[in-house]
């Protein structure tokens, strides 16, 4: 029988008490690696109570002391990056290089959390009226919750709990049950740095555990990354429960290729951003929008995509790994079939992909459709696989209109050599994250991850300055001291014993 992972509750790593577990499968072989325990209602209540109690003292720890502990943590994460990446590769199927990138983008946010003393500074205005001063304090909320997805089991947890805890909160992490080994290791390393116990609780489970954390009366903020349907549920339930909520959900990201773009750069970027990580990322480019004569490059895109092959995590020649589960593979194959049925031209079909020696893997090969229309299912839906759909537009204005009509607004990019075209695009496009000659424009952590429209539900985005606003509350104080107070205090005798 496979090992059952521990939970971290009330100051200790320990076995769960519940009868239910979830098998964590190697996506390349279907072998069970470990079992993830599903926490009971009592265990969740105990975790929340422990985090609530720890918050009372942690909120009073000076911000520079919190930052010093976070400095130790980000240094340890760097030392252990390859170890974490190997764990991540085995449970997600990602190539080792891709897994290293997953870990590193999380480390960058942990680095930014070390700047918390400056980011939590309030504002002061002297003499707003005669003898009256006004100033603000930035204070933590309490117990925060993070519900994270399977596709980035290191990066996305690290987008959340380092910032929340550096701000003076405590945190409960509920990672995806499909790849919980990486989050477990992140929590182990956290406590190796000397953080006080109970600042970070670790709960495993499924939808029942998610709902229990969202609706618990003592949790104050919910951070979620996942599907649109679940994100909408989390947002509605969380806000109804008077929580502060941020939900990062679906996407349909377009890359616009102008005729004056650098052809080789545009094609290489398009291929890597569409099939990398097996297409299982919310910032993947899934729509190629060719403007004018650039549509002549579609056969070249097909050739370049055909040269990319999936493989095991330790295969140095593999471009990407398998889908996370058989169910995920079946979903992608169903979309490929729908594309054919709806009349799109399947220039490259990855449906029958196989990898030597790994017949049970969840493999889907690079897939490219042309002659796609905006009404086709493969355009309207997020496929979350290595599937790229190509559309044509007569002008840049037409391309902008098409993208702005899409209900999602996570990311987009433009490849061009024209500064005027780039400025028009970045000004008029209704998408939160824009790349100019960059395929996947994920901002560095001193900015924030800023999806728009149906790609995000909430008021404040993850990491960067907006994370500080999300994980804290502002208290404004207006004070007046009378001149007689100064005279009285001068005559006071203070006993300092």
Mean pLDDT by 10 residues, the chain (497 residues): 92 93 97 97 98 98 98 98 98 98 98 97 96 97 98 98 98 98 98 98 97 98 97 97 97 98 98 97 97 98 98 96 98 98 98 97 98 98 98 98 98 98 98 98 96 96 96 97 70 57
pLDDT at 495: 59
3-53 pLDDT per residue, tens: 999 999 999 999 998 999 999 999 999 999 999 999 999 999 999 999 999
pLDDT at 496: 52
Length of the chain: 497
Q: Which residues contact 356 (CB under 8 A, 6 or more apart)?
A: none
- Contact at 8 Å (CB) between 372 and 344? yes
pLDDT at 483: 80
Three-state DSSP class for residue 362: coil
Q: Cα separation of 188 and 168, whole Å?
A: 20
Q: Residue 63's CB: how many other CB atoms inside 10 A?
A: 17
Q: Which residues contact 311 (CB under 8 A, 6 or more apart)?
A: 95, 317, 318, 319, 321, 355
Q: Cα separation of 292 and 305, whole Å?
A: 22
pLDDT at 347: 98
pLDDT at 434: 98
- The DSSP secondary structure of 91-153, one letter per residue, reads HH---HHHHHHHHHHHHHHHHHHTTHHHHT---EEEEEETTEEEEEEEEE-SEEEEE--SS-T
Three-state DSSP class for residue 134: strand
The token pair that represents 384 in the structure block: 């979350």
pLDDT at 390: 98
The token pair that represents 21 in the structure block: 């577990």
104-131 pLDDT per residue, tens: 999 999 999 999 999 999 999 999 999 9
pLDDT at 492: 62
As annotated, the active-site residues are 282
């Amino acid at each position: 029988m496979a090992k059952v992972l521990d939970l971290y509750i009330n100051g200790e790593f320990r076995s769960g008490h519940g009868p239910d577990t979830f098998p964590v499968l190697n996506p390349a072989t279907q072998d069970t690696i470990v079992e993830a325990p599903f926490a009971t209602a009592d265990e969740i209540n105990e975790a929340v109570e422990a985090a609530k109690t720890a918050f009372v003292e942690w909120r009073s720890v000076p911000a520079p002391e919190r930052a010093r502990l976070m400095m130790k943590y980000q240094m340890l994460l760097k030392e252990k990056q390859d170890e974490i990446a190997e764990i991540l590769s085995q449970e997600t199927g990602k190539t080792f290089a891709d897994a290293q990138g997953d870990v590193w983008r999380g480390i960058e946010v942990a680095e930014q959390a070390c700047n918390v003393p400056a980011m939590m500074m309030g504002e002061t205005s002297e003499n707003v009226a005669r003898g009256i001063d006004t100033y603000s304090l930035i204070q933590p909320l309490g117990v925060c919750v993070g519900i994270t997805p399977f596709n980035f089991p290191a990066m996305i947890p690290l987008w959340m709990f380092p910032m929340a805890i550096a701000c003076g909160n405590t945190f409960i992490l509920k990672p995806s049950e499909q790849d919980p080994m990486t989050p477990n290791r992140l929590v182990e390393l956290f406590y190796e740095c000397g953080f006080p116990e109970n600042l970070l609780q670790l709960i495993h489970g499924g939808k029942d555990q998610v709902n229990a954390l969202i609706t618990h009366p003592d949790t104050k903020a919910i951070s979620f990354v996942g599907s649109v349907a679940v994100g909408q549920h989390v947002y509605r339930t969380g806000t109804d429960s008077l929580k502060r909520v941020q939900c990062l959900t679906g996407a349909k990201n377009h890359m616009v290729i102008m005729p004056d773009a650098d052809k080789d750069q545009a094609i290489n970027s398009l291929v890597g951003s569409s099939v990398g990580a097996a297409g299982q990322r919310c910032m993947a480019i899934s729509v190629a929008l060719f403007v004018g004569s650039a549509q002549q490059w579609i056969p070249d895109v097909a050739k370049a995509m055909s040269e990319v092959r999936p493989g095991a995590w330790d295969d140095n020649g593999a471009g990407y790994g398998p889908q996370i589960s058989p169910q995920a593979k079946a979903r992608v194959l169903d979309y490929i079939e729908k594309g054919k049925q709806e009349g799109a031209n399947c220039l490259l079909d990855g449906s029958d992909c196989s990898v030597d020696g790994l017949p049970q893997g969840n493999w889907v090969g690079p897939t490219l459709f042309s002659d796609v229309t905006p009404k086709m299912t493969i355009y309207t839906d997020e496929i979350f696989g290595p599937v790229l759909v190509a559309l044509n537009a007569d002008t840049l204005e037409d391309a902008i209109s098409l993208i702005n009509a899409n209900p999602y607004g996570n990311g987009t990019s433009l490849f061009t050599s024209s500064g005027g075209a780039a400025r028009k695009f970045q000004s008029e496009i209704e998408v939160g994250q824009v790349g100019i000659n960059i395929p996947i424009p994920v901002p560095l952590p001193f900015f924030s991850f800023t999806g728009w429209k149906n790609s995000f539900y909430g008021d404040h985005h993850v990491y960067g300055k907006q994370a500080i606003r999300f994980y804290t509350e502002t208290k404004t104080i207006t004070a007046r001291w009378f001149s007689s107070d100064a005279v009285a205090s001068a005559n006071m005798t203070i006993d300092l014993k």
